[in-house]
Amino acid sequence: MTWVDELPRTGSWPAMGVRADTRPWPAPAEPEQLRRRREVVAAHPDVVQARPGSEAAVAELCALVGAPDLAAAAVAQPDDLCLLAPEPGWPLVAGALLFPSHWRLAEKLGRPLAEVHDRVPGYPAAQVDRFLDRLRPGQVVARRNLLVHRDGELHAPWPAIHDAPVEAWWLRSERQTLRRLPQSGHVLFTIGTDTTPLAELDAGVRRRLAARLSELPAAWVEYGGVGDRLSELVSWLDA
């Protein structure tokens, strides 16, 4: 079983789609991924940011990772890290966002979760807020999304502007977890990013992906950056 087998296959988008998670965290990292993470932090120090007042929660997170500060925690393990404060609307108060899929931490920091998602059509804001209000320490949930990028660059704060042929595009998926930190009461949101060239998927997976992409609503196509090339992408995957 690989991460490709865990991708959402059917059902509505967007969906909460969370399930209980028992995987140990932090996860072991491949040296190559950590090398890329160190490179990104060195080249773009603003990928790590924390709002005043979040120090105790950041320290609690760093202790979990065994790192002295947030920048060190960001490169000691494979996931991107976001902290949400236990205040109305669960504002994003700190983050280490090295491998973003088309967003910038500085633009979201300090904003409640509903505003963080203001570009996401149909985001179930009330449901997510209620879920976080009830999340207890010790309870961990995970969800996965499905993304298509025009190249394999992990550090992707902006969509790629080049017009690569669909056969050079990449499948990308984030394995996200949510857990409540017992001392500060903040919620830790982790994002683990997996990528693979579409061309390397076997025929069965390509057909499944084509079926999923075809059933996704127009709003996803628009948001997801596949744009007017959906039918081209689906025909190539299905060939």
Q: For residue 143, what are the β-bridge partners?
A: 176
Selected from 21, 29, 67, 123, the binder of ligand HEM by CB under 6 A is 123
Give CA 228 to chain center in angstroms. Answer: 24
Of 11-19, 45-53, 157-165, 193-201, the segment contacting ligand HEM by CB under 6 A is 11-19
- The angle at the Cα of 215, spanning 209 to 221, to the nearest 5 degrees, equals 85
Residues 124 and 14: beta-carbon distance below 8 Å: yes
Q: For residue 179, what are the β-bridge partners?
A: 140, 188
Compare residues 103 and 236 and give the one whose CB is closer to ligand HEM: 103
Tell me the C-alpha distance between 29 and 22, whole Å. 17
Q: How many other CB atoms are there within 10 angstroms of residue 135's CB atom?
A: 18
Residue for token digits 């890329």? 36
- Does 82 participate in binding ligand HEM (rule CB under 6 A)? yes
Q: For residue 192, what are the β-bridge partners?
A: 175
Shortest reach from residue 23's CB to ligand HEM, in Å: 17
Positions 16 through 35 that interact with ligand HEM (CB under 6 A): 16, 18
x-marked contacts with ligand HEM along 178-217 as a string, rule CB under 6 A: -----------x----------------------------
Q: How many residues belong to the site for ligand HEM (CB under 6 A)?
A: 19
Selected from 54, 77, 145, 190, the binder of ligand HEM by CB under 6 A is 145
Q: How far is CA 48 from CA 23, 35, 106, in A?
A: 25, 16, 9
Compare residues 180 and 204 and give the one whose CB is closer to ligand HEM: 180
Shortest reach from residue 194's CB to ligand HEM, in Å: 13
Q: How far is CA 155 from CA 76, 141, 151, 221, in A?
A: 17, 25, 11, 21
Contacts of 15 (CB under 8 A, 6+ apart): 8, 124
Of 13-21, 59-67, 72-80, 148-156, the segment contacting ligand HEM by CB under 6 A is 13-21
Shortest reach from residue 206's CB to ligand HEM, in Å: 20
x-marked contacts with ligand HEM along 88-117 as a string, rule CB under 6 A: ----x---------xx----x----x--xx
- Does 48 participate in binding ligand HEM (rule CB under 6 A)? no
Residues 195 and 152: beta-carbon distance below 8 Å: yes
Instruction: Look up residue 37 and give its two tokens.
Output: 């993470």
Compare residues 57 and 116 and give the one whose CB is closer to ligand HEM: 116
- The residues of the shown chain that bind ligand HEM, judged by CB under 6 A, are 14, 16, 18, 82, 84, 92, 102-103, 108, 113, 116-117, 119-120, 123, 128, 143, 145, 189
